[in-house]
Structure 1
Amino acid sequence: MTPYANRSGDSGVVAYALVGDAIVVEFDGGALYLYDDVRPGAAQVRRMRALARAGRGLSGYISREVVGYRARLE
């Protein structure tokens, strides 16, 4: 996992991993979620990957655009 830069200082995202065309996001508290081309879709995952690399906006984007489309990893 790559630590999330959290440039805004108030993100719930702790870390992320770019896996193939998907992204795994670790939230505060340790929950891991997988986002891929099926859920929520390729365009959303591309945007999430860009935000993760930038270190800003990922948590907000997930809250607004992809909430409900995540698969929790055990």
Structure 2
Amino acid sequence: MQHYGHHGKESGVVAYDIDAGQIIVQFSNGERYLYTEDSAGAANIARMQELARAGRGLSSFISRNVHDRYVRKINSRKLT
């Protein structure tokens, strides 16, 4: 997973992994969620990938737009 570079500000997101049509997001509590184009919509996934790469705004976007539209929760563990 890639560390989420939130430019010195606190963020609920700490890491992400991007693949075609999907993104896995790891939150500060260690929980990871898989979002796909089918679950969250293609435009939302594209925006999430853009925000993840930019290192800002991803947590807010998820909260406002796709909160529970994930496919599944992935085994929880904190990033070290």
Normalised to the residue count of structure 2, the TM-score between the two structures is 0.86
Return the alpha-carbon distance in structure 1 between the equivalents of residues 66 and 37 of structure 2.
Answer: 12
Contact 1:8 1:56 in 2 (8 A): no
**Match of 1:40?**
40
- List, as ranges, runs of 4+ consecutive aligned residues in structure 1 with deviation greater than 6 Å: none
1:39 match: secondary structure? helix
- Summarize the alignment of residues 1-74 of structure 1 with structure 2, pairs less than 5 Å apart: 1-7=1-7, 9-70=9-70, 71-74=72-75
Unaligned residue ranges in structure 1 (runs of 5+): none
2:39 match: secondary structure? coil
1:62 match: secondary structure? helix
Instruction: Tell which structure's C-alpha radius of gyration is larger.
Output: 2
Return the alpha-carbon distance in structure 2 between the equivalents of residues 43 and 8 of structure 1.
Answer: 27
> CA, structure 1 residues 5+20, in 2 after alignment: closer, same or farther (shift >3 Å)?
same
- Residue identity (%): 45
RMSD: 1.1
Match for 1:42: what amino acid?
A: A
Count of matched residue positions in the alignment of Structure 1 and Structure 2: 74
